[in-house]
Structure 1
Amino acid sequence: MASTSRASRSQNVNLSQASQQPVQELDDKVRAIINYILDHIAQKIPIKDKDLVPAAGDRNELKKRLPLVTKLLAKRFGILLTPLDAGFKTFVCIAEEPLASIHELTPEQRPQFTLLYIILMYIFLRGNRIEDSKLWGMLEMLNIQADEEHGYFGPNLHKLIEETFVKQQYLKRERSQLSAYDDPKTFFLWGVRAKAEFTYEQIVQFASKLLNQHPKMFDHYLAMAQEGANAEQ
């Protein structure tokens, strides 16, 4: 009986391990997962695993298919499915070949992209972490009122920056309070998508043109940014 029991347990373990093996071949569930991702990629909003479960059937089936889905997205579409957390609960889709020119964007997208570039540049020049009040102040110096409609950038700039750019992972927002006697402050940093789609060298080129300065003038900022990026790794 003992040997039979051990054999039964061994068989159950083998079956359990087999059920966890990643799927290697394209099937209807893999197609459904990929189609869902492609249908929702344009908004650049993070995708949660619970959004993908209906296409897979259940979480276990999703887990088995994610490696193949990730591989196919990269190979066929140049899309990197990047987890935002260690538990693989939330993902962002990032283009393997980042945007090369603003002319690749539609006329409707260009104002948002330009504003984003200005904000990322300012964060870069301020040590990659700035207080929100200083960001609004910088925009006001450029005659960009975040609470008023702008002739080029459009309306609802507060919402665009604080909600859309943050949800899209271009910006990361942090709250900090030194002590119970201090008012909490909000800071903006580069988000995961910004770090993946843009380089500090690109921001230097943009800053040199916008501020009419030689790129060498930004070597100090570039060194600080690269040192901070290396420290995060």
Structure 2
Amino acid sequence: FPPPERSPRAQNPVDAQVPVTEKETITSSLSPLIQGTPKVVPAAGKPSVCQSSQGVCSSPSTIKGAPLKGPSTSQAPPDPDSLLSEVLNQKVAELVQFLSVKYVTKKPTMAAEMLQSVIREHKGHFPVIFKKACECMEVVFGIEVKEVDPVNHSYELVKILNLTYDGMLSNEQGMPKTGLLILILGVIFMEGNCAPEEKIWDMLNKIGVFAGKKDFIYGEPRKLITKDLVQEKYLEYRQVPNSDLPRYEFLWGPRAHAETSKMQVLQFLAKVSGTPRAHSLERTF
């Protein structure tokens, strides 16, 4: 698509190959992803629960290890399927916590270790639990659980989309922030390669991230997106020229262009939003 008039950049040849109808479909794929992006909330200072009303990672809002509530004597017994779903969702949250620790400590893991340490008596449901936990790791943290030994089912955790920065401090404090960066890059592209700051904050507010409110994963969000990611050259943050009141906008930074591509970002967003867009996007590009 041609960039908005406010941006002096020339049209990217990749953008020119994307039909308007394709952009509209991609945008519709991105919208439910933003609205349903899961959040991880702390329990005793650790990531423990992946929450979402409609995102790929959904689990109860109780903290890790909290007992499930039993049926009230004045109410009908709960549906067994609902109870099972709640238990499995809690296992997804526990496995996300386990995998995030493995990433922070830079240690691989094996299916046997996950079964013994997390899944335990729910081994029969491991494929479903593992799949949802992997999706949650990708959306929330931007981390892929990659199988490196199919025989022994050994996995390592790596940053997705060839990005080399995860926003963690050198002393292993904090949590990876790559997932948020990818969402922002996607919104910038959807806005014609140049997104007004208010559009970015509208997206962040929908996933419970607010300026001035410290977030467990992302720290102080305004500092992260207007300073840290700008300093790392993943984003450009500039004042809109000729505006009556001071307004700002975001663009892809040179490091984002060098390490990934719009096609990769859109394929990822389509994948995690649950829509079959990857193959059609690949044909488009």
TM-score (norm 2): 0.37
Pair member with larger Rg: 1
TM-score (norm 1): 0.45
Structure of greater relative contact order (alpha carbons < 8 Å, 6+ residues apart)? 2
